[in-house]
Amino acid sequence: MSLLRTFIALDIHPAILQSIRQKTESLRKTIGDCVRWVAGDNIHLTLKFLGDVPSSSLDLLTQMLRAEADSCPAFDMTVGGLGSFPNSKRPRVLFIGIQAPAELETLRHGIESAAARLGYESDPRPFSPHLTLGRVRQNATLAEQQRIRKALDETRIDSLGAVRVDSVHLYKSELQPAGPVYAKLFSAPLHSVIAGEAKQSPR
């Protein structure tokens, strides 16, 4: 039985990804390789990490995703702001922030609940929407950690623009020596997109 490492996510418009690359270029150079940086094209907003899934379960997952997407209207979210988890004094994950309306939490909660009904483990952590830039390596020295904190304090990233969210995607992740490679398995349009297409259909 083949297993696929999968997750559910929202795409970020290429223009916003380009802005992120430009705005964080100096930060990446200053901090260096004590952070495992996410490749620019791999940056996305994760809604649910599913883990290793049997290929035979994909039909159920696509049905679930289609149903949850159809219950949520399209919405806009704003990308901007530099931060770190768990906090700025002990950064482990560096990220760009997301400001989004209630529809994002509604969509995420619906997917989380539906996945739990299918037997997938629930994530008890509060949802904090963000775009991961990189993860601090566990063997980072004190000097490297200080350099990271200083770089974060000295870097300001304001709003990078708005992203229209009109679909949600099921991805698979394949671990390669150069880093993970993501491939889209299925996309489900949000409700208002479906409604808009219906209105535009020829009579």
191 is catalytic: no
Does position 202 have pLDDT exceeding 50, yes or no? Answer: no
109 is catalytic: no
pLDDT one-digit tens code per residue, 83-115: 999 988 889 999 999 999 999 999 999 999 999
Structure tokens at 35: 């952070």
Q: Which CATH number fits domain 3-200: 3.30.930.10, 3.30.420.40, 1.10.3330.10, 3.90.1140.10?
A: 3.90.1140.10
Structural domain spans, the chain = 3-200
Non-local CB neighbours of 175 within 8 Å, separated by 6+ positions: 5
pLDDT one-digit tens code per residue, 7-46: 999 999 999 999 999 999 999 999 999 999 999 899 999 9
Say if CB 54 and CB 2 are below 8 A apart: yes
pLDDT one-digit tens code per residue, 121-158: 998 888 999 999 999 999 999 999 999 999 999 999 99
pTM: 0.89
- From the candidates 13, 44, 109, 169, give the one annotated as an active-site residue: 44
- From the candidates 13, 130, 169, 191, give the one annotated as an active-site residue: 130
For residue 151, how many other CB atoms are within 10 A of its CB? 20
With the C-alpha atoms ordered 157, 75, 105, 122, is the resulting torsion angle positive or negative? negative
